[in-house]
Amino acid sequence: MSRESSQTLERNLLNPRTNVEREIATLGPRFHNLHLPGDVQTAPDHPLGDFPRYKWQQMMPYVPQDLHGCQALDIGCNAGFYSFELAKRGAVVTAIDTGARYLSQASWAAQKLQVAGKIHFQLMDVYDLAALGRNFDLVLFLGVFYHLRYPLLGLDIVTSVTHGTLFFQTLTIPQEGRLECPRNLSIMERERMLASAWPKMAFIEHSLEGDPTNWWVPNPAAIEAMLRSSGWQSLQSLGGEIYLCRDRSVGLPMGSRPDLLKNPNSGKGE
């Protein structure tokens, strides 16, 4: 589920010289470029640059400096970059991924960064989140949505365990302009959905960027519509395909699967 990574974007450390660099290479290849003590980086030649640090810098002004007492969830944590940043601010973090290699990278780095006691790494799929039986104050759902075969179900489940704030990010397709969609559309007006600004997602039958787990790519209008549909009443675009979501509705979305969702009326997680 650290799905934002694909084989063509991962990198391994070349020509390791020190023991730490050899450990980095042994656990590779890597998608997150982590900055470790001693000015060591885990993927300094990343094709996307200093990733995901530059995405974090877009989110950072909206994350409280003091997160003591905060229960945070990092979905698709990969090598743990975002989990580490939240833990440094005092949060207790649950970090999940379906990739055992990524969790090994994250656990190793947590020791190097001395935050291991604040983060619980768990091999888990987003569809199983409700089984945790708890809510979270702050949730990161970054770079995972478009890797889900059932994306709206995944979003509903994530929303159901989010007690406070959700940061959401996904790959997008271009969109021209904005459009106020009607509350109801006649079946005879279906051509209106061909407009660039109509909420829509492209389906990928085979592969994108060499990754067969890339399934859906929405336009920005679809992202905002799906977030509202899942119950988020306050949306703020932070740029870089990142959305800050607040004020979750207590009701269940129409057509949702209550049997798979955490009870939205339950109290704050432990």
Q: How many residues does the chain have?
A: 270
Give the contacts of 195 (CB within 8 A, at least 6 positions apart): 179
pTM equals 0.89
Which pLDDT score is estimated for 267? 41
Q: Say yes or no: 175 and 252 in one domain.
A: yes
Whether residue 109 is contained in a domain is answered as yes
The rounded distance, in Å, linking the Cα atoms of 181 and 199 is 9
- Read off the CATH number of the domain in which 117 is found: 3.40.50.150
Number of structural domains in the chain: 2
Q: Say yes or no: 110 and 205 in one domain.
A: no
Whether residue 11 is contained in a domain is answered as no
State the first-to-last Cα distance of the chain, in angstroms, to the nearest integer.
25
The rounded distance, in Å, linking the Cα atoms of 93 and 187 is 47
Which pLDDT score is estimated for 10? 84
**The domain containing residue 184 runs over which residues?**
146-270
**How many CB atoms lie under 10 A from the CB of residue 262?**
24
Q: Say yes or no: 59 and 177 in one domain.
A: no
Q: Which pLDDT tens digits describe the chain residue by residue (270 residues)?
A: 543 444 568 888 778 889 998 989 888 898 999 999 999 999 998 889 999 999 999 999 999 999 999 999 999 999 999 999 999 999 999 999 999 999 999 999 999 999 999 999 999 999 999 889 999 999 999 999 999 999 999 999 999 999 999 999 999 999 999 999 999 999 999 999 999 999 999 999 999 998 999 999 999 999 999 999 999 999 999 999 999 999 998 777 777 777 777 654 444 443
